[in-house]
A and B are shown apart, each in its own frame.
Chain A
Amino acid sequence: MTLLRASTPISPNRWRNRAAEPVASVKALAGAVVTAPLGWLARAIDPALRLWQRATGTGGMVAFFLLPNMAIFGIFVLLPLVINVAYSMTTGAALFLGDRDFIGGAQYARLLDCTDYTRPSSCAEDQFWIAVRNTGLFVICQVSLMIVVATITALILNRDLRARSFWRAVFFFPVLLSPVVVGLIWRWILQRDGLLNAFLVAGGFDPVNWLIERNWAFFATIGVTTWAHLGFYTLILLAGLQAIPRDLYEAAEMDGTPPARVFWRITLPLLMPNMLVVIVLVLIRAVQVFDEAFVLTSGGPGTATLYITQYIYEVGFASLLKNLGLAAAASILMGGVLVVLTLIQLLLARRNEARGKLK
């Protein structure tokens, strides 16, 4: 057989290229530490799995591969979802469903029992309605603030910046921080003798009790959660901005379109798909607000920053008089709102996808 001299390198396939690029250090480390014992384990179970495959065919193997994940989904997500409905119709101190007394819709009735829905104090479960009102206000403020700030940031990051990835990283940094860390950092800064008041005093103002005055505390929770998640939404908006073809702007420039008009007539409409996704995501997250706010203010002062998730947590777990049934009912009401919002998001995502395919 003759040796081949002519050799035409065929460009490696796409997936091959991607397989070659991974985080070299991480891969090497994981390779050394993790795969050695795991590889041994994988080899050890192979004979048993071969028998299983012989006995049940590919179908059996599919079941095997799906089982762990689906079992966890089933036990820890789907089953709770079903139980939750049952829970919300029971009362008593017992933890397990079988030991609890069935009371039908009484928990819901209690939650919804109000003479005047605009005044929480007129409701049987006034804490719930305070939490609902606070959460509603929080959602409105949070969504508007986040959209405005994230859009401006994305627009600025989309300019011809040197070191854009550096600046993107700057705004992304807080996203990775844990809610507890975020809460504690800001508690430290906003406390009476904290950094912010030091600046105020240095500037000749009176110090403010940021976390002790009701309104300031409320706005603090909004500001801090915005600070913590801004980078995430900016990233999504930036991706949308970068997908807008450059020649559109050049065409507008040739037409002498004023910059403001370019923004309202070109940038914003084309950014809309990503913008809608961001709005819905912020909404969904804002409805569930808990971690940062809880660490920052613990719901106080009084009930000024008591939000629904904290209400559920307090009623179900933290308070002395635990009422699991009431907590379950409240969580189902919140879940209903979230399902609607999520469905909207999926709908939007699908529409975007369809639109993307048309292009």
Chain B
Amino acid sequence: MGQLDLHGITKSFGTVDVLKGIDLTVQKGELVVFVGPSGCGKSTLLRMIAGLDQPTGGRIEIDGRDVTAVSAADRGLAMVFQSYALYPHMTVRANMAFGLQNTRMPKAEVEARIADAARMLEIEPLLERRPGQLSGGQRQRVAIGRAIVRRPTAFLLDEPLSNLDAELRVTMRAELSALHARLGATMIHVTHDQVEAMTMADRIVVLRAGRIEQVDTPLNLYNAPANLFVAGFIGAPGMNLWAGKAVGGRVQLDGGPEISLPGAADGPMTIGLRPQHLRLAQNGPLRATVALTEALGSETVVHCAFDGGAPVLAVIPGQPPLKRGDAIAMDFDAASLHVFDGTGQRVTA
């Protein structure tokens, strides 16, 4: 169960192109996260997979069967909505039973599935309550339970954690991952939170303005972002991205120092360096002035600026005795540099 193929999906609302050709394969049993800034089309894409919206062009296949024209009900998918969309006038039990009854499933089977799911999600004491009497976390579980009892080919989750507070979100994140491991089901999870994406996903799909920017495992995205957008989007705090110009193996950064980069093609380019990859070094090549420090205890985020004015962000382990106005020098490993060409694409060395 559960392979999903998208071929050239496009979607337009009037003259506005929301999706501009999406090709993607989700393997069976995979947890794929769609991530991107708001308005990138990730929710629209999910709704089209669900069958709630029709694509303007392209083809959707589930386990090799073309379902583009099949109604939402008959695709065998289950969805967890951002607002949970629990039926407010039904008990938790009725909420979970509703979809099963609609397929005329025998009563005993319905009861058994609800009991199963309730045990798994630990919501047995809540079965006779109504959604209005539940806390946010409880509603979230019921919404997941309603999806589980359906035994769907794939789960679609539309920002399911965005209505929870920060603490609960972390817990639910772990629970969702555990649930995925346990069910072994295909899941597509939409979020705008890159931390959520990094921690949960088998593979992440980064979307921007209706296009897929990159599809890869979380670590590959982090270690080898395919372009400037992904580089800036994945990782916190964000990667330092310095524009510059390469001439004969050296790169002059705008508002910053010149660094050596053997083998770089001449012309405009962008150098990327994660803040974590900078370290304090007495005679380091990067000289900067501290503007602000944020001490987090285990590490310290240092906002500073090159002598030429370009901003630098560094994350230094521990609690270095730095204060505003201090002049510091930093060093880095050449291997941790990310190089992007003039069009913003990664240059593989």
Contacts and interface: CB of A to CB of B under 8 A. Distances in A.
Chains A and B come from one and the same complex:
yes
Nearest to B121: A1
Interface stretch (B134-142, B153-161, B212-220): B134-142
Interface in B56-90: 83, 88-89
A9 interface: yes
B179 interface: yes
B137 A6 contact: yes
B138 A19 contact: no
A4 B168 contact: yes
Interface centre among A1, A2, A12, A15 (most CB of B within 10 A): A1
B167 A10 contact: no
Nearest to A19: B88
Nearest to B89: A19
B132 interface: yes
Given A7-B135, A7-B136, A12-B132, A1 B122 contact: yes
Nearest to B139: A10
Contact of A8 (B121, B165, B178): B165
Contact of B171 (A6, A10, A12): A6
B137 A20 contact: no
Given A8-B164, A10-B163, A19-B89, A2 B135 contact: no
Contacts of A13: 83
B136 A1 contact: no
A11 to B, nearest CB: 10
Interface in B88-147: 88-89, 120-122, 131-132, 135-139, 141
Contacts of A20: 88, 132
A251 interface: no
A8 B168 contact: yes
A8 B170 CA distance: 14
A4 B137 contact: yes
A7 B139 CA distance: 10
Contact of B175 (A1, A15, A16, A19): A1
A52 to B, nearest CB: 14
A309 B192 CA distance: 65
A15 to B, nearest CB: 8
Nearest to A57: B71
A2 B141 CA distance: 12
A261 to B, nearest CB: 50
A82 B139 CA distance: 55
Given A8-B165, A16-B88, A2 B136 contact: no
A12 B165 CA distance: 15
B102 to A, nearest CB: 9
A166 B127 CA distance: 43
B175 A8 contact: no
Contacts of A4: 122, 137-138, 141, 168, 171-172, 175
A3 interface: yes
B159 to A, nearest CB: 14
B80 to A, nearest CB: 15
A9 B135 contact: yes
Interface in A6-49: 6-10, 12-13, 15-16, 19-20
Nearest to B170: A6
Contacts of A2: 171, 175
Nearest to A58: B71
A6 B132 contact: no
A296 B132 CA distance: 53
A10 B161 CA distance: 13
Contacts of B120: 1
A82 to B, nearest CB: 37
Contacts of A10: 135-136, 139, 163
A13 B88 CA distance: 10
Q: Which of B88, B141, B175, B178 has the most CB of A within 10 A?
A: B88
Contacts of B88: 12, 15-16, 19-20
Given A1-B121, A4-B138, A16 B132 contact: yes
A8 B171 contact: no
B168 A6 contact: yes
Contacts of B164: 8
Contacts of B139: 10
A33 to B, nearest CB: 18
B122 A9 contact: no
B137 A8 contact: yes
A8 B136 contact: yes
Interface string B162-185: 011101100110010011000000
Given A1-B122, A1-B175, A20-B132, A6 B167 contact: yes
Contacts of B122: 1, 3-4
Contacts of B167: 6
A15 B87 CA distance: 12
B89 A7 contact: no
Given A1-B120, A1-B122, A3-B122, A8 B135 contact: yes
A-B pairs, top 6 by smallest CB distance, nearest first, are: A7-B135, A10-B136, A4-B137, A9-B135, A16-B88, A8-B165
14 contacts: A1-B175, A1-B178, A4-B137, A4-B141, A6-B137, A6-B168, A7-B136, A8-B135, A8-B136, A9-B135, A16-B88, A16-B131, A19-B88, A20-B132
Given A6-B171, A15-B88, A19-B88, 16 more contacts: A1-B121, A1-B122, A1-B175, A3-B122, A4-B122, A4-B171, A4-B175, A6-B137, A7-B137, A8-B164, A9-B135, A10-B163, A13-B83, A16-B88, A19-B89, A20-B132
